Chain A
Amino acid sequence: MSVEQVREHSGQPLLDLQNVSKHFGGLAAVQDVNLQIWPGEIISIIGPNGAGKTTVFNLITGIYRASVGDISLDGASLVGLTPDRVLRRGIARTFQNIRLFNNMTVMENVLVGQHSQLSASILGSLFRPPRVHNEEANARVRAIELLGFFGNELIERQEEYVINLSYAQKRRVEIARALGSKPKLLLLDEPTAGMNEVETLEAVKYVRRLRDELDLTILLIEHKLAVTMGISDRIAVLDYGRKIAEGLPEDIRRNEQVIAAYLGKPTVAEQQTAD
């Protein structure tokens, strides 16, 4: 079923995971995962808790190194790169538990996000020649633009320490920070966690806008099935570290193995051949 959809994509995938596995000692957190993402898609990874979804994110962004397999962006391998180098290749992410820099203001957080786009060296920082001065000014302007993606609310609070913000606002600041590096691919780890229905709807809207207005490709981890079904072009399902299904939302919804994984029926997880 999903084979036809896959064949529709032409050219090289933006992100390509080939037989990726990660072992921690005897535990295989991720096993033999294959996934391709093409530019402009919104792909969701779903699965029960502990299925290895965040581990996949960590593997992509270089926090973990894949034991087996290859991960490549636009054909260039990412395996073995440190997270800051992965970012410079064009992949930015947010975290499940919101990892903002708590003792910095909103503006400073978003400025750190632009770290890779700025080029002031230590001497430049000390003497602040006009080039550095302008760079800083432009960075601030860009930071306000990024915050402005979410309306005026965060711009008004740009000098507040992020610790004072509400949960939903913190999530948005984290996304603004991630956007600072002009990524091609944005990894969102449970962007609607902890949100009520109203906030969730808003989040869904801005995820779509991120893809539409900013030309991003988005890979989501999401628990709320309603969100995933509504927003994704394709869905990949993980269970116990393996990908057990991949395809269009309506197909995934009806997939027996997926239902079994979520409801816990004792079914053997089978690899879904999606190639």
Chain B
Amino acid sequence: MAVPMHTSNRLFLPARDTRMLLIKWVVALIVPLAVFNFVWQGDALINNVILGFINPASAPVTDGQLVEAVIFIAIFYLTLLALAGYLVAADSGRRGVLEVWIDILIFTVVPILLIVATSNNLILGLALCGIVWPIYFILRRRIPFLSFLNPKSVPPPEGLRLIDSEQRAIMIGRARAGGFWFGTSFAVIWLFVDLIFFLSGQLPTELLVVTAIRTVLLPLGGYFLGQLGGMLAVRRTLAANGNGNGNHASEESSLRSRRQKERQILATSRASEETRAVVPNDLPLRSTGARNFFLILLVAFVVFYPVIDPFLFGSGTAGRLSGYNDAGYYVILALGLNIVVGFAGLLDLGYVAFFAIGAYAWGIVGSTQLGFISPIHIPFNALSGLFWPMLLVTALIAAGWGVLLGAPTLRLRGDYLAIVTLGFGEIVPVVFLNLDTLTNGTNGIVGVHSPAFFGVFWSQITPIPYYYLILALIGLTIFANIRLRDSRLGRAWIAMREDEIAAASSGVNLVRTKLFAFGTGAFFSGLAGAYYSAKLGGVSPETFGFGDSVIYLAMVVIGGIGSIPGVIVGALTVYSINLFILNSLDTLASDPTNFLHSFDQFIVNIVPGFTFGNIRNLVFGIILIVIMIFRPAGLIPSARRRRELTRAPEGEAALELGSLDVTTTDPGFEAEVRIE
């Protein structure tokens, strides 16, 4: 273990090994932060916000938005200071300095630089990362010179010893030093940059005050926040007397002592996966403790995005937000389908049906259509407020249809289930198309009302409220997914997916469990449907087709079946490819100064009529094939799936690859038997 016994905790002249540790992590964090600040206008963000306070007339945003921007900045830098403390405390000493620096470079600095290089296009920059990173992975595996960069296969953690209070104090001391020196170094660098700008006349004098304050605050904040980070790290150590891993002691002392015993046994067991949760560990960047810091940063970024977007990306906020709003409902659809396909293992090829049901449900109620088909006339101003309860009602209607359409499939397996769901996926939109009296047929429904919130009426041209609505809905969906996955019902789903007969023989009621899966999956697509028709202001049956069901399935599979972060990334990836990236490439290519232009011209000579947008389906298909060959578990596989696809159990036949297939290791008759 890397915590030596005789380190003193001097702050200003740290001992030699602490010094190495500090250099390792402070540099590792400073470089990306410096790139963010000085290359990508992170400091411009702050300066503009401050100028906005000082001189309100010149600011492009309102006072309220300025305050929000300040909150974001505070969260951002404070989290980084605490993270510095955590990383220093959590370091296990096994990964070398160079490895960590190169890792940080590739995974943090490269994206920022790519975003800057693509003229501040966030999506395009990230998409290019999706090309650069696999290249890096391949290179570091193939080139012997770079082989030291590969994560080492971790031997069972014999070295994972229990920590006593003296070592804990050392860890916290280190964390304090880490935070302090990180804050200090960054303050110094920033001071330096500001002075240069000031001397060259580009920095308004008012901001010098801010510079001074900041130079004092950063080291101070680093000291205390580093200590906080260290304490968080210490909570995740295995302690002889505590109960480690931050578990709360329950009332029963027998339970506590049992848990304590488990933790001690865990320290010497072969469960190497758990080393990612326990400190110190080998992968501090990927540890579950550090992950919380990254989540805070990500959530802060996403929540405050509409406010900081004008500062970071310039004009065009509304357009970008509109694009993200569209991507948002794809995420909800992917998460909903993940329940059906990922958790319960029911191959659903007709998921678009429930999306259509949700969209039409609000479409009918939220417009004049309801007045046409029934004696109920709702006054217009009430319609907008009605959206909120209708959101729940629509989802429940879709869930009900999920149960109804799932019922005929209960005895079917695998492929047959897929065909029936495919059938429903075709039937429902056609029904909507032809039920003229109810749904206005091919003309669709127009004039669907947007929701209102506390008297403020939304419309299609203000994307910000929709952005927060979809964020809230996504948050709800993620929360529900996680809760369900770790519950009795979630276990029943996964058991049913693994082995229906064993699940039934363990008490799982197959009928109810399957219906719950369909119903829950349809619930979320109903949510997405209501949002969709409200945002679009209308519904038309042509938008729902089999191709869409396939796209939703592709999102889930590419992202990682059964993995919640995976399908989110999968949804965003598929959406970006299909609707975003290639069009952006077209825009870039039409600019004669861009190198893409000549490339484009060259191809047009060979294949007239070529645009990047045209080859969208070709590119999508190629990406699907490539991912399925090289990474069949998906972009962010769930832990189970990765295991399923990369190892065969000793002494038994290897599992079949698709969780969508019935496993052929079922003995004899039992596999063929229907359960009545």
A interface residue numbers (CB < 8 A to B) = 24, 58, 61-65, 80, 82-84, 87-88, 92-93, 95-97, 99-104, 108, 111-113, 115-116, 118, 120, 122, 124-128, 132, 136-137, 141, 144, 152, 155-161, 163-164, 167, 177-178, 180-181
Contact = CB atoms under 8 A, between A and B. Distances in A.
Contacts of B309: none
Interface in B461-496: 480, 483-484, 487-492, 494-495
Centre residue among A113, A122, A158 by max chain B CB count within 10 A: A122
Contacts of A128: 483, 487
B520 to A, nearest CB: 7
A156 B641 CA distance: 23
A125 B483 CA distance: 6
Interface in B490-506: 490-492, 494-495, 498-499, 501-506
Centre residue among B484, B495, B516 by max chain A CB count within 10 A: B495
Contact of A157 (B258, B271, B489): B271
A163 B649 contact: yes
Contacts of B506: 84, 87, 92, 112-113, 115-116, 177-178, 180-181
Interface string B663-675: 0010101100101
Contacts of B480: 126
B670 A63 contact: yes
Nearest to A117: B507
Contact of B265 (A61, A65, A84, A155): A155
B503 A112 contact: yes
B438 to A, nearest CB: 31
Contacts of A178: 506
Interface in B256-307: 258, 262, 265-266, 269-271, 273-274
24 contacts: A64-B673, A83-B504, A83-B505, A84-B509, A87-B506, A88-B507, A97-B665, A97-B667, A104-B640, A111-B488, A112-B492, A112-B506, A115-B492, A120-B487, A125-B483, A126-B487, A128-B483, A156-B265, A156-B269, A157-B269, A160-B270, A161-B640, A181-B506, A181-B507
B116 interface: no
B520 A112 contact: no
A60 to B, nearest CB: 11
Contacts of A108: 491, 494
B655 interface: yes
B347 interface: no
B507 A115 contact: yes
A124 B503 CA distance: 21
B19 interface: no
B501 A83 contact: yes
Given A61-B505, A99-B505, A100-B502, 19 more contacts: A58-B673, A62-B675, A80-B676, A93-B505, A96-B667, A101-B495, A102-B499, A103-B494, A104-B494, A108-B491, A113-B507, A116-B507, A125-B490, A128-B487, A136-B487, A141-B258, A155-B265, A163-B649, A177-B506
A205 B655 CA distance: 32
Contacts of A84: 504-510
A63 B492 contact: no
Contacts of A132: 487
Contacts of B669: 24, 58
B623 interface: no
A34 to B, nearest CB: 23
Given A84-B507, A84-B508, A111 B491 contact: yes
Give me the 5 closest cross-chain CB pairs, A-B, nearest first.
A116-B507, A125-B487, A99-B502, A83-B504, A103-B640
Contact of A82 (B269, B270, B504, B670): B504
Given A82-B676, A102-B655, A63 B501 contact: yes
A145 B535 CA distance: 54
Contacts of A141: 255, 258
B661 interface: no
A125 B488 contact: yes
A136 B334 CA distance: 28
B379 interface: no
Contacts of B6: none
Given A128-B483, A180-B506, A82 B675 contact: yes
A95 B505 CA distance: 10
B647 A63 contact: no
Given A83-B504, A84-B504, A125-B488, A104 B495 contact: yes
A269 B676 CA distance: 33
A167 B651 CA distance: 9
B478 to A, nearest CB: 12
B270 to A, nearest CB: 8
A63 B498 contact: no
Nearest to B641: A103
Interface string B323-347: 0000000000000000000000000
B437 interface: no
B507 A163 contact: no
Nearest to B269: A156
Nearest to A109: B495
Contacts of B250: 137
B390 to A, nearest CB: 20
Contacts of B667: 95-97
Contacts of B273: 159
Contacts of B488: 111, 115, 118, 120, 125, 136
Contacts of A103: 494, 498, 640-641, 643-644
A99 B505 CA distance: 10
Contact of B507 (A87, A100, A160): A87
B491 A112 contact: yes
A156 B491 CA distance: 21
Contacts of A64: 673
B508 A95 contact: no
Given A96-B667, A159-B271, A87 B262 contact: no
Contacts of A80: 676
A111 B495 CA distance: 11
A220 B490 CA distance: 32
Nearest to A167: B651
Interface in B172-226: none
A115 B667 CA distance: 24
A163 B643 contact: yes
Interface string B634-664: 0000001101100101010001000000000
A115 B508 contact: yes
Given A84-B510, A141-B255, A159-B271, A95 B484 contact: no
